Every structure is written in structure tokens, then in C-alpha cells.
Structure 1
Amino acid sequence: MTDTTVSPGRKSKFLNLEMLLILIGVAALILAPFHFYPVFLMKVLCFGLFACAFNLLLGYTGILSFGHAAFFGGAAYFTAHSVKEWGFPPELGILLGVFGATILGLIIGFFAIRRQGIYSTMITLALSQMFFFFCLQASFTKGEDGIQGVPRGKLLGFIDLNDPLNMYFFVLAVFLIGVFIIWRIINSPFGMILKSVRENENRAISLGYSVARYKLAAFVMSAALTGLAGGLKAIVFQFATLTDVSWQMSGEVVLMTLLGGIGTLVGPIVGAGFITALENYLATSEFPVTVITGIIFMVCVLVFRRGIIGELYASRFGKKLESSSGH
């Protein structure tokens, strides 16, 4: 696979630019529910966190997974079932979803990291499809009907999440916490080792690092954060279905990440927002959404391989913003 990431040196140069974009984005998200449909915004936030978690594995570790739908959809099922059938409060249901996704990530990652390249990717796809068929047959998932009518409940026992604004700001808080965790991971010594593994795995091994352990740790962290997005999505939309665990969902998050910019913190969020808005706009039209997304994917790969944010960083405009922000 062609490396489309931004080099580590360039990333450090554009740190101020990325922080500027983050601050502008946070301010916009706080004001957004007063001007846009909150449910649509919550969907963008859920998939934005999903894409960021996936980017932790692909953009910073160099592992391409086609099985992340298992973590996203699995967490959605675990959360939905525990909240609806067991009466768990929403925050505990989401934590259970994260725990379930973490276990799945440990199992799938254990097998996937033992191979490299396309073989590793195919293992993630195969195990994800096995989980899909498990969800199709298992009694607690309700088969093709899925788990519907999941109550949002009350956060901490007193904040009514049936109120759209309460639900939105809860989702926004979880989204920001998730993105902050990812930022801390990639800017820690652990994150530096992950980047070295991505750039030159053999050299990392020669330096004495246990590459397999670091890969597995990154895989599990990515799965857990993906589960956070999946559990949150189940509470927002009050259902979990087979669509959440299908291979198309795994392909969609790859597209979001590529479109926004692999190896950037903001890029996957932008890509998720673009694809979600496009699907929402085309939902009422007769034009097939898959055709449009396929065309976007080809254009992204052929024309701007760094993604939207990656190209912004590399452009003259990005360099001017970077220099004006303190360098």
C-alpha cells in the first residue's frame, strides 16, 4: 500500500495549525446545535470518533484493518442489549460496549498482527465477517430486525437524554474526551514508537522494541475507542442493526479516513463529516450513494492522496497559516 501519511517532521511543523483548526472546530460544535439538526450533528460526531480511532491504527501504526465494523457494531449491540434488557444506565451501557469491543480487539488483533500487509488485512476481514454471522444468528441481537427501541435514559440518574440538547452535549463531551485520548497516545513516547514501527519495522526490532506487543496494544486501543463510538451511536439512534457490523461499514471508515487525511488528527473528522453530510443529502434522491462515494474514493486516491487536511497542510495557504501562528 502506498504511504500517504504526512512525515513526522512536517507534522511537528504544523502543530500550531492543527491546534488552531481544533479550537475553531470546538467553538463551531458548541454553537452548531442551535443552527443545525442535532441528530445529524451527533451522527457526524459518532462517525468522526470512529474514523479517528481507526486512524490511530492505520495512520500512526501502519496497519490496515477491514474489520473495525466488528468493534463498532459489537459495542452497539452490547450497549443496546444491556440498556434495554438489563436496565443499565446509558453511561454504564456504553462502558460495557467499550469493554466488549476491547475483548474483540484483543482476539482479532492477536491473529492479525502475526501477518503483514494484505494477509493481515484479510485476517481482520475474515474474523469480522465471522462476527457478522454470529450477530445474524445470536438470539440477543434479534437477527435482521436488530435491537430497536433502546431507551436513552438519564445520564448519572438525573440528566434526561431524551432532550436533544442534553443528548448532543453528552455526545460532544464523549467525542472530545475520545479525541483527546487519541491525541495523548500519538504524542506520547508510546506513540513515537508506533510511528517508528510504521516507518521502519525492522529498524524498530533492531533497537530492541517488542513490535508485536506494540502493534497489539495499538490494535486494542483502536478497538476500544471504536467501541466508544459504537456504543454512543446505539444510544443516539436507539437501535443496533446488522448494518453496524457489515463489511461495508469497515469500508466506509476507510474512505472517511483517506478522504480527510491519514496520519492527521483533524482529517478523519473532516472526512466523516463530509461523507455523512453527503449520505444525508442523497438519502432522499434517486441517485445511488455508493456510486458517488466510489467516485470520491477514486478521486481521493488519484488526485489528492494526502486527503483534504493533508493537502491543506502541504499547500501554500497551510504554510502561511503555520508561519502566522508562531513559526
Structure 2
Amino acid sequence: MTDATISAAAKGRFLTLEMALILIGIALLILAPFHFYPVFLMKVLCFALFACAFNLLLGYTGILSFGHAAFFGGAAYFTAHAVKEWGLSPELGILVGVAGATVLGLIIGFFAIRRQGIYSTMITLALAQMFSFFCLQASFTHGEDGIQGVPRGHLFGFIDLNQPLNMYFFVLAVFLIGIFIIWRIINSPFGMILKSVRENENRAISLGYSVARYKLAAFVMSAALTGLAGGLKAIVFQFATLTDVSWQMSGEVVLMTLLGGIGTLVGPIFGAALVAALENYLATSEFPVTVITGIIFMVCVLVFRRGIVGELYASRFGKKLESTPEN
């Protein structure tokens, strides 16, 4: 049996394991609201989708953004305003948020992809900070108070989202749709090109690919999916505030993704659940949350270079998968 055959078999087992974990996770999520607090679970799902959308850009395209809070918080503001002031239904309000985040992603991505490395990252941070200042001054955001009392309303006109279980299963459905879209992207020919750009951008250029277009497309897709998470969050918690567009929010999604494991589908979900659970626990204690999360970030960078899930995958499939050709 050749090395290529062994590598292909290892990659097949890797994908089978990841799919099995996803199916087990779905089953657990269906049962979870009957045993745990639904609002906490909805928070985990919103941030897990946020982290997976961010991972599409960092883990599969190799672009580090410190401006994703602009898409997350921007969508939260747009959704909250559309539902509360315009009287739109929750599903239409979320679509407004996604559209707004997509436009922001197109604008920020247009400038960010023209540089590489730390310069690209700093562009995303600078533009996101500009948007944060805009949200502070704009009249429709209500400044430091934010948009409060956003009505959950009725899904499709007849499903009352004020009922916790109805709200939870709506969030779960949106989360699963978002994860399926991400899975479909990364396992498509388009996704393979993104991976080739991540591994060797010059090689991708030499093969004739318009790298700038692919990077911009990935940026916009990541922003749109982040907007889906942000809009959903505004409906769940019924408010949108400056915290949603702050640089700390951008740092938090980086932590979630790195902690779970970049370049994996399950990793960011695990990282988001871990960070949300930790914050929920520390909120009732005297320990400062930011200090603890900072320590966790340093430990993750020093000990779990691939993230927790990434290290587990690497310990089982790492050497074989590394020898598997991407194209």
C-alpha cells in the first residue's frame, strides 16, 4: 500500500470522525434545552456560529482579522433597528443585519486584501474602530445606551419566539444552516482554492487564480455569516450595544477560534462553548474575566498551538494528513 493510499485513508477517517462528532453534537443540542438553561445555550450557539464564520477567513484562507466585531455588532444594530423601529418580523430583521454586514465586509475586505500579514490585520482593526466610533455617534444606535427592548415577535407570523423553546429551536436551526453553508464552502472547489491560497499564495497566483478576488469573496462570505450570528444575537438577547462592536469582541472571537482549533469545523464550536461557559461561571465569582481569558489565551498559544481540537486531530491523524496533497 502506497503512502498516498495511506494518506487518503487517513483523511477519509478524519472526515468521518468530524462528521460523527457533528451528528453527536446535533443530537445533544436537540436534547440540551430540556436539561440546561436555554438562554445560555442560545448564547453558545450564536458565538459558535460567529467563531466558525471567523474561522472560514483565518483557518481556511489564512487572513487574520481584528475587525469582525464590526460585522457582528453592525448586524446586531441593523437587526435591532429594523425589528424595533421598522416593525419587521425577526427573520426579515436578521436578513437586514446580514445584508448590512455583507456591505461592511465588502468595504473592509476591499482595503484589507491589498496588504498582507500584520498590515492587513491592522487595516481591519482600524476600520472596525472607525465603525465603532460611528455607532457611538449615530442617532439610530442611541449612543452608549444602545438599542434596548427589541421585540422577538413571531417567526413567519405564527411561531411565538417569546416562548423559550421556540426561540431555542429557531436559533438551533439558523446555527445548523450556517454551519452547513460553511461546510459546503470549505469542501467545494472554491474552498480548495482558498486552502491553496492559505498554504502558498504565490503558487496559487502562478496557477492563474485571481487571488485577490478569492480573498475578497472569502472576506465577504465570512462577514455575511458573522452578520447572521450578530442578527440572531440581537433577537435572542433583545438588545444591541457598543460592546458588540468593540475591539474586545474581535479579540474574543480570535480566542474562541484559537482555543478550539483553526482550520477545523468542530474546533471553533468547542472553543466558543468553553469560553462562554467560563465567562458564565466567572460572572458569579470575584475573578476578573478579562485576566482569566488572557491567561487562557497565552496558555493556548504556548501549549496548544493547533488548539484543543486541533491537537486531538493532529495526535491521531496529523502526520498522515500533512502528507495528503491539497490539490
- TM bucket (normalised to shorter chain) is over 0.9
- Distance in 2, matches of 1:58 and 1:9, equals 27
**1:276 aligned partner:** 276
Deviation at 1:314, TM superposition (A): 2.1
Aligned to 2:215: 215
2:172 partner SS: helix
Residue 298 of structure 1 corresponds to 298
SS in 2 for 1:162: coil
How far the C-alpha of 1:114 sits from its partner, in A, is 0.1
User: CA shift at 1:252, angstroms?
Assistant: 0.2
TM-score calculated relative to the size of structure 1? 0.94
Superposition pairs of residues 105-254 of structure 1, within 5 angstroms: 105-254=105-254
Measure, in 2, the Cα distance between the counterparts of 1:263 and 1:89.
Answer: 35
Q: Output the amino acid matched with 1:205.
A: I
In structure 2, relative to structure 1, the CA distance for the partners of 1:278 and 1:304 (3 Å cut) is same
Q: Which residue identity does 2:69 align to in structure 1? A: A
1:40-65 C-alpha deviation (Å, 9 max, x unpaired): 00000000000000000000000000
1-structure distance, mates of 2:8, 2:193:
12
Q: Which whole-Å CA distance do the structure 2 matches of 1:11 and 1:245 have between them?
A: 38
> In structure 2, do the counterparts of structure 1 residues 8 and 39 end up closer, same or farther at CA, with 3 Å as the change threshold?
farther
The residue identity in structure 1 corresponding to 2:242 is: L
- The 1-side partners of 2:117 and 2:257 are apart by 18
Instruction: Tell me the residue number matched to 2:315.
Output: 315
- Quick check: 1:18 aligned with 2:18? yes
- Paired amino acid for 1:45: L
1:182 partner letter? I
C-alpha separation between the residues in 2 aligned to 1:127 and 1:278? Answer: 30
Structure 1 residue 11 displacement after superposition: 5.4
Distance 1:198 1:273, change over 3 A: same
> Alpha carbons of 1:193 and 1:105: their partners in 2 closer, same or farther (altered >3 Å)?
same
Aligned partner of 1:3 in structure 2 is none
Q: Distance in 2 between matches of 1:201 and 1:234?
A: 37
Secondary structure of the residue aligned to 1:305 is: coil
**Alpha-carbon distance change, 8 to 259 in structure 1, aligned in 2, over 3 angstroms:** farther
**Inter-partner Cα distance in structure 1 for 2:165 and 2:231:** 19
Q: Are 2:32 and 1:43 equivalent residues in the alignment?
A: no
Shift of 1:172: 0.0
Shift of 1:304: 1.2
The answer to whether structure 1 residue 67 and structure 2 residue 73 are counterparts is no
Cα RMSD for the two superposed structures: 1.6
Long gaps (5+) in structure 2:
1-6, 322-327
User: What is the CA deviation profile of residues 174-220 of structure 1, one whole-angstrom value per residue up to 9, with x for unaligned ones?
Assistant: 00000000000000000000000000000000000000000000000
Give the match for residue 325 of structure 1: none
Aligned residue number for residue 34 of structure 1: 34
Distance 1:285 1:129, change over 3 A: same
2:83 is aligned to 83
- Distance between the aligned counterparts of 2:54 and 2:138, measured in 1? 26
| CA distance, structure 1, for counterparts of residue 312 and residue 295 of structure 2 | 21
In structure 1, C-alpha distance between the alignment counterparts of 2:303 and 2:203, rounded to whole Å? 32
CA distance in 2, matches of 1:8, 1:103: 40
Change in Cα spacing, 1:248 to 1:9, as seen in structure 2 (3 Å) is: farther
Partner Cα distance (1:132, 1:8) in 2: 46
Q: Which amino acid aligns with 2:151?
A: P
Q: TM-score with structure 2 length normalisation?
A: 0.94
Residue 9 of structure 1, CA deviation: 9.5
* In 2, Cα distance between equivalents of 1:97 and 1:8: 41
Q: Match for 2:180: what amino acid?
A: F
Q: Structure 1: state its 5+ residue gaps.
A: 1-6, 323-327
Which segment drifts farther, 32-41 or 300-309? 300-309
How far the C-alpha of 1:315 sits from its partner, in A, is 2.6
- CA separation in 2, counterparts of 1:24 and 1:263? 20
SS at match of 1:14: helix
Q: How high is the sequence identity, in percent, across the aligned residues?
A: 90
Stretches (4+) displaced over 6 A: 7-10
2:54 paired residue number: 54
Cα distance in 2 for partners of 1:227, 1:49 equals 10
Structure 1 residue 308: deviation in Å? 1.1
Matched letter for residue 159 of structure 1: I
Cα deviation for residue 260 of structure 1 reads 0.2
Aligned length, in residue pairs = 313
Q: How far apart, in 2, do the equivalents of 1:173 and 1:107 lie?
A: 29
C-alpha displacement of 1:312: 1.3
CA distance in 1, matches of 2:233, 2:254: 18
